[in-house]
Amino acid sequence: MGGVTSTMAAKFAFFPPNPPSYTVVESGGKLMMNGVVARENVDILKVGTKRGNQVVAVYIKNPAAVLTVLYSHGNAADLGQMYDLFSELSFHLRVNLLGYDYSGYGQSTGKPTEQNTYADIEAVYRCLGEKYGVKEEDVILYGQSVGSGPTLDLATRLPKLRAVVLHSPILSGLRVMYPVKRTYWFDIYKNIDKIPFVNCPVLVIHGTADDVVGWSHGKQLWELCKEKYEPLWVKGGNHCDLELYPQYIKHLKKFISAIEKSHLRKGSVPLPHQPEKPRNSTDFRETSRPNTDQREKFRASTDQREMPRLSTDRREKARTSTDKREKSRKSVDRPEKFCNGSEQPEKARNSIDRFGEMMRSVRLCNIDCFRPTATTV
């Protein structure tokens, strides 16, 4: 059965770039990656897996980092194409970041299969602890598209894991192609069955116009999370362009900040940005209710005829408070405007420019990456 499953996975789930976008050479006893800009804070690694493959990984150090992100990239991409994005994420989020190529991708040996990807992520996670001394409770697993499979598989086995980010995730391999209502034995990456066993906060990011992995995948996974973090539904976002939207990096920054400030184990104080009743998304927010109670207080102050000036002052304060709330509400609602390119604020645009240039110049996804074709073997 496992062999049939792996064959199915190879047929529709894996499209490694051919030829790879980079090569690895040894220079002065140190591995170097050709095709990318060499940086002093970057280590190039080859990590052995329990299935006998050697996977290439990139570890980016940030001196200000408290947390480390282990990033499992999407389909039809390799480390050479992801390298600049990884560097930007490490810098903007102030995290260490380890990215890797699955078996059969880039310069990693072996063939891409579901079971190999599980062994791959285990090996690089183990490397974080053995080589860099990273603790489980300081790790955030980040899975993009097909990378959500190995990410959630590992997350179910790490009880002290700090957090998980799912970027355009899949419910399962079969569900991408067919609207099945149950899990079949031959399905792959059964994320829908695994996510209830993840015991840390989960951030889900998905585009509402994703025509490769439908938005419903992200929404259903978020609904099944034990510890829900406010999701990011990017209006108009497709499968491979979410990094172009300013709210992508802004929401990730907010998430990382919340994770850093929270010691977040069972029974601990909840994340400051996690609503008691989960909101539908960051794009659709509820109107603040405390305003009604404050208006009652203001009405009471106007009824105090004996102190008219004090009452007037209070009304002025009320207006000021209301204005502040309006400004706050506008700042909260601003993500709705981000999807309209003409309304992107200058500051947000400047902060994301490098992401935009990078993503426009590199095709990071095969738009048919989950659609079998007649030529597939």
Selecting among 73, 217, 239, 273, the annotated active-site residue is 239
Selecting among 78, 138, 187, 210, the annotated active-site residue is 210
Question: Residues near 32 by Cβ (< 8 Å), separated by ≥ 6?
Answer: 24, 25, 26, 38, 44
CA–CA separation, 131 and 371 (whole Å): 39
Q: If residue 56 lies in a helix (H) or strand (E), which one and from where to where?
A: strand 54-60
Selecting among 72, 145, 168, 281, the annotated active-site residue is 145
CA–CA separation, 339 and 354 (whole Å): 18
CA–CA separation, 97 and 108 (whole Å): 19
Beta strands 201-207; 227-228: pairing state: parallel
CA–CA separation, 264 and 275 (whole Å): 15
One DSSP character per residue, 245-274 reads: SHHHHHHHHHHHHHHHH----TTSPPPTT-
End-to-end CA separation in angstroms for the chain = 19
One DSSP character per residue, 315-361 reads: HHHHHHHHHHHHHHHHHHHTHHHHTSGGG--HHHHHHHHHHHHHHHH
17 and 368 in contact (C-beta within 8 Å)?
Answer: no
CA–CA separation, 269 and 183 (whole Å): 35
73 is catalytic: no
58 and 24 in contact (C-beta within 8 Å)?
Answer: no
Burial class (CB in 10 A: 0-12, 13-18, 19+), 252: buried
Strand partners, 96: 68
145 is catalytic: yes
Token duo for residue 101: 């190529």
263 is catalytic: no
Supply the residues annotated as catalytic: 145, 210, 239
